[in-house]
Amino acid sequence: MPRLLLRLLAAVHLVAFVSLWVQIDGLVGSRGILPAKEFFTYLERALGAGPLERFANAPSLLWVSSSDAALHALCAAGVLLSLLALAGMVTAPVFGALWLCYLSLVWGGQTFLAFQWDTLLLEATVCGVVLAPLGWPFRRPPGVPPGAGSRLRSFTASVRSAFQVAPVATAGRPGLWLFRLLVVKLMFLSGAVKLLSLDSTWWQLTALDVHYLTQPLPVTASWYAHHLPDWFHRLSVAIMFAVELVVPWCLFWRRLRRPGVWLLLALQLLIAATGNYGFFNLLTAVLCLSWLDRLPLAGPSRFGDPPAGSAADPKRLAGGAGTRFRWLAAATILLLSLSVTARELTRSLPRGPDAPRRAVAVANLVDRVLVDPAAPLLRTIAPFRSINGYGLFRAMTTSRPEIVVEASADGVIWNELVFRFKPGDPKRPPRAAQPHMPRLDWQMWFAALDPERADWLGSFVARLFEGEPAVLGLLGEASRQGESPGFVRLRLYDYAFSEPGADAGNGAAGGPAVWWRREFLYDLTPVLVREAFVQDPGNGSPR
């Protein structure tokens, strides 16, 4: 099972890298919304330190070069490494390189790569480094003598050895348990922070009354789920809390392990069926599989046993410095993860005058015992984003504001820009994107909730005025037609799902003809004119 787990993790990496690669130019390319080159120039001025200090504060290979070619090279390297691991080269150096490539892109991606599943993928990859065989994949196997006459034979044997599926014996147990405990941390925190936030929708089991509507990127099934009976929504929330808060601890009991895993997988399947969360559900499902000793349909590996002395040889994994390193690394990660978990739980609890006194007292005690002693080390490792806290939707949004971007050639006739997945035209059904992660569409949801903090909107509008192909490529097909606009405005609307029976059966796939009802709230910006805006992009800041 561990070797299959590593290859499935490589598959998630492949999805993540490919999804990002097709968006990288428009997001952070030299002509993108937030150019990585400008960001690293800013960091260099702000940090004002030597190369090692800068890397420690912002670990990324993009310090060497943050050009478009460097961004594409990192994406290409990630895809290649993922394919190699999928083919069987599941060794620690490969997963270490995957981690470094993705971490570099996370820093270059700035706000567009600041999602929880980005950090979850980094943390899972660290677990993969501890689990995978330590040997370098291309080593001369025993029995192949060095020398010019045997170079080709040595290289061929080393490649064949590298692609043997690595069995994980006793030496791999620390890494396997890192995966398993990551599942417990992820699921338990996801449920606990909802309750600790004291959000009334979670405590009253009414969160799903609005969740399907207000989540970042709904799918077609979200409309139908939203209109299920209230009692079903409340029952669903109660079951979700049971799965997130109770089931993870049942996994430690072997008899309950398999049904527990199926419950966790069922939750991920339902989340994926009713919303767009990129590769998050796929990654979480892979992590959950770490609790199974083997899959029901899994048969023997077609690669056979690895040759003696290869990077995958069990004898090389069963003892020695490699095993000691694994246990030491696992123990360090677990201790730091415990401190991060405690910090996440205590931070989730409101500390105002209305907060429960006993709960605050316990939180303060936990801070002093578990969090404060580790605080200096946690600050040191924070830039590496590999030991994290988690918890989506700890405070449920109860309405759905949407930013509608309109463009005009003459300032009289306005056309609404169409995004690929973000709600827009009320007659267009919500679209599924997973496992692809449409990062601009997601950030538009955050921008609508708090426009003043979305400082990237001004740069986005500037690229629209310039007709930048890389940025327009992030939008829908209809928005990529025609000339650059002379005028742009951003308007805020309140969106709600249409009611059942309203124009029912006339729309796509037998659904309603109108999927959304929207109401204009106010203009986020005045009418922006191309000439004036190019001279002073600050005029486009939402007000």
pLDDT tens per residue across span 99-119:
999 999 999 999 999 999 999
What average pLDDT is seen over the chain?
87
pLDDT reading at 313 higher than 60? no
Confidence of residue 302 (pLDDT cuts 50, 70, 90): very low
pLDDT reading at 125 higher than 50? yes
Residue 9 lies inside a defined structural domain of this protein: no
Can you give the pLDDT at residue 224? Answer: 96
Confidence of residue 476 (pLDDT cuts 50, 70, 90): confident
Is 319 in the same domain as 411?
no
Spatial distance between the Cα atoms of 174 and 157, rounded to a whole number of angstroms: 30
Is 239 in the same domain as 217?
yes
Spatial distance between the Cα atoms of 472 and 478, rounded to a whole number of angstroms: 10
Spatial distance between the Cα atoms of 494 and 402, rounded to a whole number of angstroms: 6
Is 430 in the same domain as 330?
no
Q: Which of 364, 395, 426 lies at the terminal end of a domain, its last residue? A: 395
Confidence of residue 501 (pLDDT cuts 50, 70, 90): confident
- Phi, psi (deg, nearest 5) at residue 182: -65, -40
Spatial distance between the Cα atoms of 385 and 133, rounded to a whole number of angstroms: 23
Is 263 in the same domain as 385?
yes
Residue 53 lies inside a defined structural domain of this protein: no
Residue 467 lies inside a defined structural domain of this protein: yes
Helix (H/G/I), strand (E/B), else coil: 140: coil
Residue 466 lies inside a defined structural domain of this protein: yes
Can you give the pLDDT at residue 91? Answer: 93
Q: Report, as an integer, the average pLDDT of 76-93.
A: 96
Which of 51-55, 146-150, 517-521 is the least confident region?
Answer: 146-150
Q: Which of 395, 414, 449 lies at the terminal end of a domain, its last residue? A: 395
Is 391 in the same domain as 274?
yes
Confidence of residue 406 (pLDDT cuts 50, 70, 90): very high
Residue 504 lies inside a defined structural domain of this protein: yes
Is 343 in the same domain as 411?
no
Range of the domain at 209: 171-395
Residue 107 lies inside a defined structural domain of this protein: no
Is 418 in the same domain as 480?
yes
**What would the pLDDT profile of 146-179 be if each residue is shown by its tens digit?**
554 555 554 455 445 444 444 444 456 889 999 9
* Closest C-alpha among 447, 465, 464, 448 to residue 456: 447
Is 292 in the same domain as 380?
yes
Spatial distance between the Cα atoms of 167 and 314, rounded to a whole number of angstroms: 7
Can you give the pLDDT at residue 137? Answer: 53
Is 261 in the same domain as 345?
yes
Is 447 in the same domain as 501?
yes
Are 15 and 272 in contact by the 8 Å Cβ rule? The answer is no
Which of 1-5, 109-113, 267-271, 468-472 is the least confident region?
Answer: 1-5
Can you give the pLDDT at residue 323? Answer: 80
Residue corresponding to tokens 């299920």: 228
Q: Report, as an integer, the average pLDDT of 246-275.
A: 97
Residue 126 lies inside a defined structural domain of this protein: no
Is 384 in the same domain as 297?
yes
Spatial distance between the Cα atoms of 386 and 233, rounded to a whole number of angstroms: 35
Is 360 in the same domain as 420?
no
Q: Which of 371, 395, 419 lies at the terminal end of a domain, its last residue? A: 395
Confidence of residue 504 (pLDDT cuts 50, 70, 90): low
Residue 61 lies inside a defined structural domain of this protein: no
* Closest C-alpha among 189, 120, 184, 172 to residue 329: 172
More confident residue, 377 or 355: 377
Q: What is the CA radius of gyration of the chain?
A: 25
Structural domain total, the chain: 2
